[in-house]
Amino acid sequence: MSGSEDDKGKRFAEIVLPYLDEAFRLARWLTGNRADAEDVLQEASLRAFNGLDQFRGGNARAWFLTIARNTAFNWLKKNRTDCLSLDEMSEQSIEAAGQSTTATPEAIVLGKIDSDRIHQAIANLPLVFREIVIMREIQGLSYREMAQIAGLPIGTVMSRLARARNLLVLALAET
Amino acid sequence: MAENSNFSPADGNDEAMTTLLLNAYLDDELDAAETVRFEARLAADQTLQARLAQLEGLRAAISPLAQQEDGLSPALRAEIARRFQPAPARLRRPVVQQWMRMAASVLFGAFLSAAVLTSYFDLWNGGRTDVVADAVAGHMRGLVASQPYDVASSDRHVVRPWLAAKASRVPRSPDLSAKGCVLAGARLDIIEQQPVPVLVYRLREHVISLTMLPSGTAPVTQATYNGFSILSWRENDITLLAVSDVTEGELNRFRDAYEMTREQGE
């Protein structure tokens, strides 16, 4: 093992290993199952290892989650043709998908919801909304981090998050 | 918010902008001035209050999902760690053991991960000093850093969600201030190549790192390492390890205080 490979391994241990769990969670929500998420995580780890030189310090968590997120999206494009159309939806049609929910939702009071139902409601969200909800509510990422990871302007992250929540409230209000 | 050029409080009456502000308020993403302005609007607007309550209800409904254990399998973690990380010097074994390990690999097939073999040989060697060395190293790194924690808060309602987002399990973080121990924050350490949650308490000017060891780790019996006091114990199915430069007696009292809160149901 050469010295530089030793260093690389050390950097991998510091920069990537602490965030494997979070990256796996994100991949599991994006792909919808553990087996696919494991494939994504293996590939993301390889990409991170090969790209360690490009990490210039700062937020290692966001850096690795970006790689995991992009790997998951590429994986979905390759393996799930139904997701392709979603991914390539224009910004306008994404906006429309969110805005088709024009009901005034403040009258809806969410009672006790069992976790299977909320799980299903999130899993049913279109990918572009689902990833934002997961990053915010499951992973506790800030708007700035979400924008970096998803490669979106903060304004777009905000509007997608608001619409995603709107869609969830409506889905959960249905009896 | 600065880079969001569309974001202007002047548009505050616009419905879409109100929705964004409401969400940003919920997510604690407004700056102090915007927060004050929004809270004034909120106080005067019952519809807005109802919408906020609804979003809080949604968040409360989702939060159990974030706690659920559906993490990475230990086998895959070990595989990734082994594939991209050269074996640290302490894991390099004498020739005889390497030969035995090879023989074992042949016998048991390629399905047994290196991690399993490594822990087998650790048990065989009768020592778990690696765990202690890693925990003390984490504690020392914390001491030489500007702060011994990654998240600074004495509020366990801040510390726990921060840890829960990063680790599949989180130890109890009781308020021990009655015993002179103040929760100062938390961090993640790497023990045996796994990230583990660490609570940081302060006892006077001393720092106590309370590490949750990887699952399946037996409590450590040694009492000191490199001049640090060490105390390890089990709570239900988790194993905790406290490291500090306080005396053994004080570390024992810390453990007693921590365990006391369990009986009180904290």
Q: What angle do CA A90, A92, A96 make, to 5 degrees?
A: 120
Tell me whether residues B76 and A25 touch, CB distance under 8 A.
no
Structure confidence by residue, pLDDT tens digits, B228-242 = 889 999 988 889 999
Inter-chain residue contact B72 with A155, CB threshold 8 Å: no
pLDDT in tens, B184-214: 888 888 888 888 999 999 888 788 999 999 8
pTM score, whole prediction:
0.57
Alpha-carbon dihedral B210, B214, B217, B223, rounded to 10 degrees: -30
Angle at A89 between CA A85 and CA A90, to 5 degrees: 160
CA distance A85 to chain B (A): 27
Q: How far is B204 from chain A (nearest CA, A)?
A: 30
Longest dimension (CA), chain A: 65
Q: What are the start-end ranges of the H helices in B151-247?
A: 156-164
Give pLDDT, residue B98: 55
* Measured CA angle at B219 (ends B218, B222), to 5 deg: 125
As for the ipTM of the complex, it is 0.87
- Mean pLDDT is lowest, of A1-5, B40-44, B69-73, for A1-5
Q: Give pLDDT, residue B87.
A: 54
Tell me what pLDDT residue B141 has.
79
B116 backbone dihedrals φ, ψ, rounded to 5° = -65, -45
Which residue of B1, B66, B76 is in closest CB contact with A137?
A: B66
How far is residue B118's CA from residue A23's CA, in Å, rounded to a whole number?
26
Read off the pLDDT band of B92 (50, 70, 90). very low
Tell me what pLDDT residue A159 has. Answer: 92
Contact B200, B209 (CB under 8 A): yes
Chain A residues lying within 8 Å of B61, measured CB to CB? 110, 113, 115, 118, 172
- For chain A positions 26-65, those within 8 Å of chain B (CB to CB) are 28, 34, 38, 41-42, 45-46, 49
**Dihedral sign for Cα atoms in the order B102, B105, B106, B110:** negative
* Closest-CA residue to A128 (of A64, A85, A170): A85
- Confidence category of residue A13, pLDDT binned at 50, 70, 90: confident
The C-alpha atoms of residue B211 and residue B132 are separated, in whole angstroms, by 10
Spatial contact of B153 and B177, defined as CB atoms under 8 Å apart: no
Q: How far apart are CA A146 and CA A65, in angstroms?
A: 10
- The yes-or-no verdict on residue A141 having pLDDT over 50 is yes
| Mutate: best of B14, B34, B51, B54, partner A, most A CBs <10 A | B54
Q: Which of B152, B157, B196 shows the shortest CA–CA distance to B174? A: B157
Of A115, A139, A159, the CB nearest to B165: A139
Chain A residues with beta carbon closer than 8 angstroms to that of B68 = 115
Per-residue DSSP letter, A134: I
